[in-house]
Amino acid sequence: VSAQTPFGVYHNGMDFLSQQTMPFHAIADGTVKKIEVLALQPTGNYDVNIEVKINSAYWYNMGFEIVSTKQADLNAQLNAIDVVVGQKIEAGQLVGTLLPKGEGAHVHVSVKTHKKDICFFPLFPKTVQKEMFPKLRIPPGVARQACYE
């Protein structure tokens, strides 16, 4: 996945849009290594980023991007995260619930190795891909694809 994307910035994963409260589950077994709050640039919108280590070679991130700069919205999103650092989690376990506050709110999911980012969408069965595809954030006028390479 490269730095040249339709988003105009480096984009290393897939964004799952939701304008309503939506639960998100672990995509693989692992251990929660980090939960951090980021202020995304240039907007300052909050992102609650969760890093899960699968094994010594692979990990994934889930970023709950709420589209808000308000402290109260951030506090609510932090309270909607259902895991803690050091916790062992299983695939399918609830990680957190997105509490969207603006248009474009989504959960960003990326899978990584020590050497590169991985477009994991093709690893899902076709039936799951068909269900997931409408939820992906894809800029207007851009060919519908899960990852940008």
What tens digit of pLDDT does each residue of 126-139 get?
777 777 666 665 55
CA atoms of 122 and 113, how far apart (whole Å) = 17
CA atoms of 106 and 119, how far apart (whole Å) = 18
Which parts of the chain have pLDDT scores under 70? 1-11, 123-125, 132-149
Say if residues 1 and 11 touch (Cβ distance below 8 Å): yes
CA atoms of 16 and 34, how far apart (whole Å) = 21
Number of other residues whose CB lies within 10 A of the CB of residue 59 = 20
Which residues touch 71 (CB under 8 Å, ≥6 apart)? none
- pLDDT value at residue 53: 95
